Amino acid sequence: MPHTNPAHLSPAHLTLPQTYPTPPALPTIIRSRDRTEAALRHALRGRTIARVGRGAYVEVPPGPAWQQREFLALAAIVATMDRLGPDAVLSHTSAARVHGLWVPPWDGLTHVIVPKAGKQTTGIRRHVGPLPSGDIVQVDGIRVASLRRTIVDCALMLPPRWGLAIVDSGLRSVLRPDRANPLAHLERQQHIKAVLLRLLAERPGAPGTLAARAVIMAGNALSESPGESGLRWAGLAGGAPEPTSQLAVTTAESTFYLDLAWVIPLSAWAPNESNRPRLMSDVVILGEEYDGEGKYSEWPPADGSPRLSPLLREKRREDALRERDVYLVRRTAASLRDHLALIASMVARFPRSMTASFRPNLALLAPAPPARSRHPLAPTSYLSDHVTRSRG
């Protein structure tokens, strides 16, 4: 790759491109009946294939470990559907994976909706009930719950931290908003949320209704990652006002977009408050950003394009934002694992004149549902960041 002088790069190279949730290509399952036992053993030893179910294997694609984990989870779900009857419809977080939504690490379960109860099977969670034909779609020959039904099902089943990520990604996949024009999609977003709330109202008394309504109402298509959704959830759960997503800040370098931001007058802080920002302007921008697992991994660029290294890009960006009185805090997956500490840390950034009126949003702090038996082949690492009761 030719040498690139970072000082000569255009401002566009300092801003990451927008991405949108898209359905993944479903893995091709290799059945043991289609290969000799010797061939399977050889491929397993060479780690070119992995076992994802009884008599089911899949070729392992190259890529970061987290991408491979997600691929193998999806493969195990597809392999399970191959052996279920025609009445089973893939649902809940399993359907969300097929739709390309932002899901929690795999819990080892394949979720399906069935018309009547059957025998319990390890690794399969059967949800018994009717499913209108209009809420069933075909994906590569697999019957899958529709996107809108999947969003509502997940909002009911998951703890709100992940329910909000599902709602955000569902809205984002449909609306494909432009961060540079953040108001253009709002009318359509409100319409979709109204449809989701009507679907929720058709299931009176369903467990998790209060939390589901809260995450649907809080949904925002401008969220660009599940980590951003998690940060927004933490702020709202702690009683903070609704933040601005993708707030545009024009600097000498470029126009940058903050994951989350609150614009607060400096006068809101008392002169003696320890967290009072030290600046001369009248307005403070409290920014929150999420640094995800893949943010710094794709370097150097595979296409040889003249992009800054991620660390240098972020340093230039942060220096430019600091000059515009942006007080930025970066969070990681580790931050999201301790929900109570994260909420407390975010709330502590605000002036006392605001936090005096903050009240925790109990609907967004609902506990996770009870744990179920998991897929016997699900590696423990899949579950290391899974939701727990204490995480909400």
pLDDT tens, position by position, 335-368: 999 999 999 999 999 999 999 999 999 999 987 6
R_g over Cα of the chain: 23
Helix (H, G, I), strand (E, B) or coil at 329: strand
CA dist 71 and 43 (Å) reads: 18
| Confidence (pLDDT) at 311 | 66
pLDDT tens, position by position, 174-201: 999 999 999 999 999 999 999 999 999 9
- What value, to the nearest 5°, has the Cα angle with vertex 254 and ends 21 and 223? 25
User: Which one has a higher pLDDT value, 224 or 45?
Assistant: 224
Residue 66 structure tokens: 């987290």
Q: Is the pLDDT of residue 120 over 90?
A: no
Give pTM, 2 decimals: 0.86
Domain ranges of the chain: 18-223+371-391, 240-358
| Confidence (pLDDT) at 78 | 96
Tell me the percentage of the chain whose pLDDT exceeds 70.
84
In eight-state DSSP terms, residue 280 is S
Give the residue among 26, 163, 172 at the shortest CA–CA distance from 92. Answer: 163
CA dist 357 and 344 (Å) reads: 15
pLDDT tens, position by position, 71-101: 999 999 999 998 898 999 999 999 999 999 9
Per-residue pLDDT, averaged over 39-68, amounts to 90
pLDDT tens, position by position, 290-339: 987 544 444 344 445 445 556 666 778 887 888 888 999 999 999 999 99
| Confidence (pLDDT) at 322 | 82
| Confidence (pLDDT) at 341 | 96
| Confidence (pLDDT) at 347 | 98
User: Which one has a higher pLDDT value, 279 or 344?
Assistant: 344
CB neighbour list of residue 39: distance below 8 Å, 6 or more residues apart: none
226-237 and 209-218 helices cross at what angle (nearest 10)? 110
| Confidence (pLDDT) at 143 | 97
Task: Output the CA torsion sign for 191, 192, 197, 200.
Answer: positive
pLDDT band at 261 (very low <50, low <70, confident <90, very high): very high
CA atoms within 13 A on the CB side of 277: 24
Element (H or E) spanning 246, and its range? strand 244-250
19 class by beta-carbon count within 10 Å (0-12 exposed, 13-18 middle, 19+ buried): exposed
Alpha carbon 375 to its chain centroid, in Å, reads 22
